[in-house]
Amino acid sequence: MNIANINLGGIIFFIVTGILIFLLDKKYIFIPIVLSVCYITYGQNIIIGGFNFYPVRIIFFLSWIRIIIRREFNIPIVNIIDKSVFYWLISSIILYSILWGFEYDAIKTKIGLLYDVLMMYGLFRIIINNYSDIEVIFKITAVLIFPMALLMLYERKTGSNLYSYFGGISAMSEIREGRIRCSGPFRHSILAGTFGAILIPLFIALYFSKVSYRNISYMGIISSLIIVYTSSSSGPLMALLMSIIGFMFWYMRDKMRTVRWILLGSIIMLHIIMKAPVWYTMARVSDLTGGGGWHRSFLINQAIVYINEWWLLGTKNTSHWFPYTLAINPDSADIVNQYIANGVDAGLLTMILFIFIIVRCFQGLGRAQTIEVPDPLGKRFCIWAIGVSLFAHVVSFFSVSYFDQINVYWYLLIAIISAIVNIHETGYSNNKFQYAN
């Protein structure tokens, strides 16, 4: 075992969070998970057999040990969302391994993905059993991100990132067009801002769940807005704006099929009318908001142009897609698109299966909207708010491909939606709702 880059602060963090995992009541086990997302960087890690065990991975490993020892879990009924995640995972692992000729480094990369999905998504699926569990997760997040927001405000004012003490990120914040772009504990400011943007709809759901939660929801919303603001990134801002639009469509919730057809028709018309392809709309928007909209539009265009190179298994080299490449990897263009990243990584099938997860999540939430239950968070608006958070992810995927600890909240959201599907469909049909005690 080789211990890499663990300083005194990291040791104290692991000791404290480890103790919390085994001492806290089961419903509060999410506290050390949020702490690992918000208050330590990937610069603190342990390398075992060539595998990187970052703080989040260690916390989830310890959480699994606690859950197994105490037998504090219920095996959930596997639904279509769970199956979709499984199919996507298997496709990603197999096709990527074939592309790289089953090289050790390639297999190691996908073992890391397998570990993350099983540890994160798997844990959330077995500990989220009812709406009370979901409420607790939202409350914990709303309270614990407040100090993170203050730290990012400090970073915005001084240009110094205090999280650099843990390593893995720069001590001085990035500056673009005269604006400080704060990243907090994340490895990029866009990821930090996206983290704030995707949380706001969840805190709005918390606001409407119970009157007693409203002060906590205010704290979460304000903190998230600060995080989006201090990131100074157009991608998170766009996700936030699209979330606002998503809430506006609440008043047309019973006509969403018609809305979807109208939106599709509008996109096709824009593609016909515009001189450039419709995906260059992002470049037009960035002319007003700033950011790398042209790069993101051109990336989609190049992915289509070179689809023959990656559609089957993915591709090892995208350096010829752009006139510039990444300094850390001259064989790769900057793939700032989660959908294209899946395709480049492991082919068109993997990309389609990733999109299929999102489609199934929206379908599950849509069906849950039609059923009212006597639980506060079961109200249709709160389910809608969770769908808006999913929509914020969907929008963000066009501006960034996820890496580091933001994946925790992506897998969390899918697991929450999967649990809601079980509650409203399987639980309802069997007349066995799992209400909170």
Tell me, what amino acid is at 370?
T
Residues 378-411: tens digit of each pLDDT = 578 889 999 999 999 999 999 899 988 999 999 9
Whether 351 maps to a domain, the answer reads yes
Whether 161 maps to a domain, the answer reads yes
pLDDT at 295 over 60: yes
pLDDT at 185 over 80: yes
**Is the CB of residue 148 less than 8 Å from the CB of residue 227?**
yes
Whether 395 maps to a domain, the answer reads yes
Whether 375 maps to a domain, the answer reads yes
Whether 381 maps to a domain, the answer reads yes
pLDDT at 434 over 60: no
Whether 410 maps to a domain, the answer reads yes
pLDDT at 267 over 70: yes
Instruction: Report the pLDDT value the prediction gives residue 373, as an integer from 0 to 100.
Output: 56
pLDDT bracket for residue 130 (50, 70, 90): confident
pLDDT at 338 over 50: yes
Query: Of 311, 287, 289, 307, which Cα lies nearest the Cα of 299?
Result: 307
Q: Write down the mean pLDDT value for the chain.
A: 89
- DSSP class of residue 47 equals E
pLDDT bracket for residue 114 (50, 70, 90): very high
Domain count, the chain: 1
Query: Of 419, 325, 356, which Cα lies nearest the Cα of 76?
Result: 419
Instruction: Report the pLDDT value the prediction gives residue 288, as an integer from 0 to 100.
Output: 63
The answer to which of 57-71, 253-267, 283-297, 338-352 has the lowest mean pLDDT is 283-297
Q: Read off the tokens for 276.
A: 């450039």
Q: How far apart are alpha carbons 63 and 49 in whole angstroms?
A: 22
Whether 221 maps to a domain, the answer reads yes
**Is the CB of residue 140 less than 8 Å from the CB of residue 34?**
yes
Say which residues have a Cβ less than 8 Å from residue 183's Cβ, sequence separation at least 6: 155, 161, 163, 169, 173, 174, 189, 191, 192, 231
The answer to which of 157-161, 234-238, 260-264, 429-433 has the lowest mean pLDDT is 429-433
Whether 301 maps to a domain, the answer reads no
How wide is the angle at C-alpha 32 spanned by C-alphas 414 and 188, nearest 5°?
65
Domain that holds residue 151: 80-262+327-429
Residue 83, CA distances (Å) to 353, 355, 361 in order: 10, 13, 12
pLDDT bracket for residue 374 (50, 70, 90): low
Coil, helix or strand at residue 402: coil
- The DSSP line for 231-280 is HT-HHHHHHHHHHHHHHHGGGGGGGHHHHHHHHHHHHHHHHHHSSS-GGG
Instruction: Report the pLDDT value the prediction gives residue 52, as an integer from 0 to 100.
Output: 84
Residues 8-41: tens digit of each pLDDT = 999 999 999 999 999 999 889 999 999 999 999 9
Instruction: Report the pLDDT value the prediction gives residue 435, as an integer from 0 to 100.
Output: 33
* C-alpha gyration radius of the chain: 21
Percentage above 70 pLDDT, the chain = 93
The model's pTM: 0.92
Q: Which residue has the higher pLDDT, 284 or 3?
A: 284
